[in-house]
Amino acid sequence: MKISIASYSFHGLLAEGKIDAFGYLESCKYRYGLDSADFWNGIVGSTDADYIRKVRQAVEERELTVANYHVDGCHLWEDDPEARERNYKVALQHLHIAHQLGAKTVRYDTGGKLEPISNEQFDYIVGKYQEYAQFAYNHGFKVGPENHWGLSLIADNMVNIAVAVDSVAYGILLHIGHWEDGDEAGGDRRLAPWTVHTHVDANVTRHCLEERMNILLDEGYEGYWGVEHHSTKNEYAEVAYQISEVRRVLQKRAWESHNVESIEALQGKAGNPLLTLAQEGIA
């Protein structure tokens, strides 16, 4: 099953000095039995080339796939031109780091404020994503935004940007249900065609996981399901719970696809197949 853990899920442990990039990889492989990593640049912790090489070696030693590299601190839009240029230079550096790590998908936030996008913002953001997507195409990965904060929380903005970028190397990291413009399931459905990675938070896990995962699965989504936890509390156990729920949904979906006749037969009778309805007190 394609399941990953967004390493931001352990930012509480990181703040306490109890985990780093290497401990995270150990946890993915041996605590949770996964075949993937889902790196946040905050847990990678350095841009030093020798250090990044060691992290890549650790990934390869554990035979892991880097499903995603999500980068904070170099979002595209800032009102101040100098801040935009500074973020742009940092973003270019992280494109090379993503390639060094072997990431399959990369996320940069749009930036901006929670509002309809202006023409100036649109032209700048589309141009930068096109540039990043060309680098990604040349190096075998995909890049794009997450509906994370600012402009990206409006589904119209995200759809219009995706259409304008128009690149096979462009894709959305869909933070499932994380929209601020009304219809959460509708936002997921509209962005499904561009979704190349996901983040599944605890609220979605507890309240609407199967429904929201099925939206993407029905659209043919084949990427990783990136579990993400935010509370900073009891992180190892909370992440384990979220993974188990994602696995349950995927396994149920697989079981149903292979047992259509059995499901139809069971619909005629609930309960213990070795007892009659009268014996069970159902009739």
Overall average pLDDT of the 196-214 stretch: 97
Average pLDDT of the chain is 94
Q: Which of 158, 74, 73, 145 is nearest to 117 (CA)?
A: 158
Does residue 6 surpass a pLDDT of 60? yes
The helix/strand/coil state of 135 is helix
Which residues make beta-bridge pairs with 40?
A: 70
Dihedral, 255, 261, 265, 267 alpha carbons, nearest 10: 60
Q: Which of 109, 24, 99 is nearest to 71 (CA)?
A: 109
Domain with residues 3-280, CATH architecture:
Alpha-Beta Barrel (3.20)
Question: Residue 168's pLDDT is what?
Answer: 98
Which pTM was predicted?
A: 0.91
Does residue 261 surpass a pLDDT of 80? no
% pLDDT > 70, the chain: 93
161-193 pLDDT per residue, tens:
999 999 999 999 999 999 997 789 999 999 999
- Among 36-45, 240-249, 271-280, where is mean pLDDT lowest? 271-280
34-79 pLDDT per residue, tens:
999 999 999 999 999 999 999 999 999 999 999 999 999 999 999 9
Domain residue spans of the chain: 3-280
Question: Residue 258's pLDDT is what?
Answer: 80
Residue 87 contacts by C-beta under 8 Å, 6 or more apart in sequence? 73, 74, 75, 76, 78, 111
